[in-house]
Amino acid sequence: MRGNLFAVAVDLVVLTVRRDQLCVLLVRRGERPFESHWALPGGFVQADEDLGDTAARELVAQTGAATQGAVEGHLEQLAGYAAPDRDPRGRVLSMGYLALLPDIPDPEAGAAFLPVEDVYGLAFDHDRILADGVERARAKLEYTTLAAAFCPPEFTVTDLRRVYEAVWRVEIDPRNFQRKVTSTPGFLLPTSTRVTGGRGRPPQLFRRGPATALHPPMLREPVPAHV
């Protein structure tokens, strides 16, 4: 068995929507290289771990998302990165993973959710991994029901619309959006409760339905690409 040996790591692109902005979880590095730079959370694959195991373990460790996030959230493999010079310590292959979570409080010190538009100069090639993750998330909202992964267990149509508007950075007509999502079978399950206390007519509360695909897809115009 020829070929060089690699250390294999998993780096997470953990996205959420906070205050109508798409945010990514970053950690401040405490060691070299790139000491005190922002980086994606991640870690090395341990013995007897598959890649998804490592990703799930790191996700729980970094967010405490075992209770809330893992149920409503989403975790999928993104891509592999293995440029020979991507890590000055030696050959490291990193598998990017994409996680979508509802808005949760900032985790431990040294980690924070920051708006993706403000993020530059991450450690290693994490700018690239982040860009790939954001693009994947934007694309998946088109033809899947994954936008609900950004929402808490019960949410309104407006909550869901704000997710689309934050991720795509566009404005969507509330009336057409409502017709679209409520007429897709299995996307939204109505609950018997309504929200009170806000301004305007109290909205209906929904839960995620069993549908995963969106037929026909929700089309977006070419986005003002940036980040």
Report the interface residues with DNA, using CB under 7 A: 156-158, 173-176, 178-180, 182, 194, 196-204, 216-219
Q: In the complex with its own copies, which residue's Cβ is closer, 49 or 154?
A: 49
- Please confirm whether the linkage preceding 216 is cis (ω < 30° from 0): yes
Q: In the complex with DNA, which residue's Cβ is closer, 179 or 212?
A: 179
- Alpha-carbon distance of 131 to 150, in angstroms, equals 18
Residue 197: left if φ>0, alpha if ψ -120 to 50, beta else—which one? left
- Alpha-carbon distance of 126 to 184, in angstroms, equals 36
Binds 50: which of DNA, its own copies, none (CB < 5-8 Å by kind): its own copies
Least Å distance, CB 44 to its own copies, is 3
Binds 225: which of its own copies, DNA, none (CB < 5-8 Å by kind): none
Q: In the complex with its own copies, which residue's Cβ is closer, 152 or 217?
A: 217
Binds 109: which of its own copies, DNA, none (CB < 5-8 Å by kind): none
Structure tokens at 103: 């808005």
Residue 197: is it exposed, middle or buried by C-beta count within 10 angstroms (0-12/13-18/19+)? exposed
**Which amino acid is located at 140 in the chain?**
K
Q: In the complex with its own copies, which residue's Cβ is closer, 79 or 111?
A: 79
Binds 173: which of its own copies, DNA, none (CB < 5-8 Å by kind): DNA
Least Å distance, CB 199 to DNA, is 4
Binds 79: which of its own copies, DNA, none (CB < 5-8 Å by kind): its own copies
Structure tokens at 56: 């799930």
Distances (CA, A) of 32 to 87, 137, 187: 11, 31, 46
Q: In the complex with its own copies, which residue's Cβ is closer, 3 or 185?
A: 3
